[in-house]
Amino acid sequence: MKCILNYLIILCSFTSNITHAQVWKNPNESINNRVNDLISKMTLEEKIGYCGSKIPGIERLGIPDYEWYGEALHGIIAWNCTQFPQNIAMGSTWNPDLMYEVATAISNEARALKNIGEKEVMMFSPTVNMARDPRWGRNEECYSEDPFLMSEMARMYVRGMQGNDEHYLKTVTTVKHFVANNIDYKREQIHSYINKKDLYEYYFPAYKTCIVDEEATGIMTALNGLNGIPCSAHHWLVNGVLREEWGFKGYVIADWAAVQGIETNMNYAKSQPEAAAMAIKAGVDQECFRNNKRYAPMVDALKPAIEQGLITEEELDNTVKRLIRLRFKTGDFDDAKLNPYSKIPKTVLECDAHKQLALKAAEQSIVLLKNDNVLPLKKDIESIAVIGPFANKCWMGIYSGFPKNKISPLSGIQNYADTKVSYAEGCYVNTHSDDDIKIAEAVTLAKKSKQVILVVGNDESTSTENVDRKSLKLPGNQHKLIKAVQNVNPNVILVLVPSGPTAIAWEQDYIPGIICAWPNGQEQGTALANVLFGNVNPSGKLTSTWYKYDEDLPDFYDYNIQTGRTYMYYKGEALYPFGYGLNYSTFKINEISTSNSYLKRGDSLMVSVSISNIGKMDGEEIIQVYIKDVQSTQITPMKALKGFKRVHVAAGQTKNVEIPIPYEAFSHFDVSKNNFVVEAGVFKIMVGNSSVNTSFIKELNVEGGEIPKIKVGQKSGYFNTNNPNRQGKWDDIYEDKSFLTANEDLNQDESGILFNTTFNDPGFYVNTWDAEIIYELNSPKSEFTLMMLSNEIETYNVNENNSKSGKLSIKIPIPPEYGKEVTLKAIITQGHLSLKSIKIIPPNDIKPYYIYPQKQ
C-alpha cells in the first residue's frame, strides 16, 4: 500500500511538472502567466529576435519563423484582395459606420490569408497624421485636416480591424506615425518643432482616441524627431504621454530602421548599441525592418547594448512580453477551434459583397464641387469623349494592393452610357515630349463630341512616401490640356483624381461641372458613372481646405496651426472650404434647438436639427456642428467641428436629427494647468452643411471646469457604448452567407511563357518596380498579356515600327510578399513573338538583373 501511495505521489508530481512546463500552451491560463512562462523558456538571442520584423522560429518549442509586417491602409497589400477608396476618400464619406464595415471586410481578408498560411495579421495602419498641409507626400493616407473628424473615422477603422471578441484579436492595428510626420523629404533627418498646445489640441487627439477609447494594440513612432529628440528615442513622448498618461499597454514599433537612424541620421546616439538602448528605455519595442539577408539593426545592436551595460535583460524582457502578448491575443499558440476568426474562409477575398461595399464607399466619397446645371448627364447623350491621363487607368492611390477586378473611369462610363464613348489620353501625368501631340489628338476628339469628360489628377510620381508635392497645381501639362479642350468644346465635366487639395482656380471660373473622384478603390469607374448620370446623388464632403494658390499656404516646415493652417485658422477665401460638397437635391435646414441654454460641468448637450429635402431627388446630407469660444482668454479656433451626422432624406420629406456634444468639446488645452479646461462663458453653436455655411447659430452659456484625465480602461465623452458596431461579429456585413462555405476551384492554368524571380524588399515603399522585356518579333505585329499569380498586369502591343528586336519598358506591381519566389507568365494572344528575357530594375539604385524563360 505504501508503495502504491508513493507511486501516486510521484505520478501526480510528474503530471504537475508536465502541466507547469506547458503553461504557455494552456488556453485556460491567464495571458500574463502564459507570456511569463514562454519568456522563461527563451534564450537571450531568441528574445532579441522579436525586436525586428523578421522573427526566427524556435524549433525546440515548435514555434515557426514569423513576419511581423503587414499593410492594410485601404485594403490588404496583396494580390486578389479588395481595394477600397483611399483614406482621403473614405474621410469624405463622413460616415464612421461605413468605415467600420470597410475595416471589417479588410480584416476578414487579412484573417483569410492567415488561415491559409499566406500572411500574418500584424497591420501597420491606420495613418492618423494630420493633413495639416496638402503638399505632404502622404496626405492621401489621412482622413482629414480636422482632429475630430480624423478621430471619428480612425476609431471605427480600429474597431472593425480588431473585432469584438473578448478573447482574441482579429488583427493587430498599429496607429502611425507618432507623431507629426508631415514632411516626407529627408524625414529621417529632420525635426518637427511644435508647441505643447498644438500637440494636445491638434496632433495628439486621433492617437488618443484610438488608444484610450478603442484600445488599439500598437503604435508606430515616426522617422522624424520632435523638438530636438528622435521620436523613437523620445522618453516623454512614448513612456510619458503614451504609456503613463494614456495608459497604453500595447507594443510600439519604430518606423523603418528608425532606431538605427537615432545614430546614423539624427546623430543623437554615439553608437548602434546606444541607439538600441535609447529606444528600449524610451518604451519602443521593435524596429520595422524586413530583409532576407540580415536582421533589423536594432536586433543586431541589442546584445552588445546588454553586454555594455546600457540596458538590462530585465528591461528587454518587458519589451518582449508586450510583443509576445499580442501573439497570444491573435491566437497563434492556441487550437484554431477556439478562435472565431479561424473560420474566415478564402472565399471572402475580393468577394462580391466586398466589391459592392467598395462601390458603396466610392459613391459616398465623391464630392461635387461645381454644377452649373450640367449634371447629371443624360444616359443617351449623342456622343462622349473621355479624355485625360487618369481616364483609362484605375489609380487607387499609394499603399494599394492588386485586385483581380479594376474599373477605370473610362470603363465605368462605357459600361453605363447608351452612346458612343471615345477616348484620348490627352497628355501624360507629368511633362513629356509627346504632350503637344496628345493634346492635339484630344482637341480633335473634343471638337466632334457632344460631351467631354476630362479626368486629371496626380499620382505617386508627384506625391508619395519620400516625395512631397512641389505645388498644389495639376502636374505636367494637364492644365494646358484642360484649357485647350475647353476652348473648342465648352461642354466639359472635369473629374479630379487628386492626392489632396488641388489649385484649380481657373477651372472653377470656366468649367461648368467639376467632380472630385479621388483615388477611389477598384470600383471607382462604376461609382463615377453612377454619379455622372444621376443613378447616385453625390453626397461627399471635403475634409480639408482647398486653397486657390500655393502662396496661400504658410511655410511647409512650420507646424504651428495658428499661423493660418486649416479652416480653423485660415482667414483667406478658400477655393473650396472644409466640409463643402454639393448634390443634386436642395436641402434646407429649417431650425435648430439645444437641450440646454446653460451647460453644467460634465453634462452633455443635445443639438436637434430639422432638415428638409426640397429637391426632386432622394439624397443624403451631412449636418455639421461647429463651436466657437466667444470669450476665451487664449487663442482658439474661429470655429471647430464637434459633431456631424450623415442623414438620408427622401425628396419632399423632412427629418429631425439629434447630435450629442459632450462637455469636453468646449475645452482647450491650458499649458499652465497641463490639462484641458473649459473657460466659463458664452459659446456659439453653429450648424450647417460646410464650415462656411453655418447660418443657424445658437448661443450657450457653459460652466467652467477642468476635464478629468482618462487612460485605457476609461472612455471619453465621445465614446458611444450603445453603437451596434461594438457588438458586431465578423460575418455581420454579409446578407448572403452561403459563399462563406463554398468550395473554390483552385486549378490554375500553367500555360504561357514562365519567368521565375524573387523580389527583395528595397527598404521603403514603392507601388511598382521598373522592368524591360527584351523581345524578338517574328510577325508584323504581336500582342501579349503579362500576369502574376493569375492576375493580369497589362496587355502589350508591339509591331514592326518598334523594330524586329527591341525592349519594352513596363511596370511590375510589387509581389504579395517580398523574399518569396513568384512566377511571371506571358501569354501571347496575337502574332509570333519570342520573349528573350526580362530585365528587372529594382528601386533605390539597386543593381538590375535579368530573368529568363523556364524550360517546359
Q: Could you give the residue numbers annotated as active site? A: 255
Between helix 96-115 and helix 147-162 the angle, nearest 10°, is 30
Of the candidates 671, 586, 630, which has an alpha carbon nearest to the alpha carbon of residue 197? 671
Q: What are the residues facing 786 on neighbouring strands?
A: 794, 826
Instruction: State whether residue 384 is helix, strand or coil.
Output: strand
Q: Which contacts of 588-591 are long-range, i.e. CB under 8 A and separated by 24 or more positions?
A: 588/612, 588/613, 588/614, 589/623, 589/687, 589/688, 589/689, 589/695, 589/696, 590/654, 591/696
Task: Tell me the H-state helices in 285-408.
Answer: 297-307, 313-329, 352-365
| CB neighbourhood size of 586 (10 A) | 14
Q: Please list, in sequence order, all residues whose beta carbon lies within 8 angstroms of the beta carbon of residue 482, skipping any fewer than 6 positions away.
A: 454, 456, 474, 492, 494, 507, 511
Of the candidates 395, 457, 449, 458, which has an alpha carbon nearest to the alpha carbon of residue 423? 449
User: Using omega within 30 degrees of 0 as the cis cutoff, is the peptide bond preceding 304 cis?
Assistant: no
How many Å is the Cα radius of gyration of the chain?
28
Q: What are phi and psi of 137, to 5 degrees?
A: -65, -25
CA distance linking residue 512 with residue 562, whole number of Å: 35
Q: Please list, in sequence order, all residues whose beta carbon lies within 8 angstroms of the beta carbon of residue 51, skipping any fewer than 6 positions away.
A: 285, 286, 287, 296, 298, 299, 302, 319, 320, 323
Q: What are the residues facing 656 on neighbouring strands?
A: 610
CB 342 within 8 A of CB 115: yes
CA distance linking residue 29 with residue 491, whole number of Å: 70
Q: Please list, in sequence order, all residues whose beta carbon lies within 8 angstroms of the beta carbon of residue 173, skipping any fewer than 6 positions away.
A: 123, 125, 126, 157, 158, 161, 162, 210, 216, 217, 218
CA distance linking residue 761 with residue 740, whole number of Å: 34
CA 753 to chain centre: 36
CB 550 within 8 A of CB 504: no
- Between strands 681-688 and 619-629, the pairing is antiparallel
Of the candidates 330, 146, 176, which has an alpha carbon nearest to the alpha carbon of residue 242? 176
CA distance linking residue 495 with residue 478, whole number of Å: 12
End-to-end alpha-carbon separation of the chain, Å? 75
CB 737 within 8 A of CB 712: no
CB 226 within 8 A of CB 182: no
**Inter-CA distances, 821 with 64, 578, 790, Å:** 19, 47, 15
| H/E element, 849 | strand 849-851
Q: Which strands make up the sheet holding 587-594, listed edge to edge?
A: 587-594, 605-613, 654-661
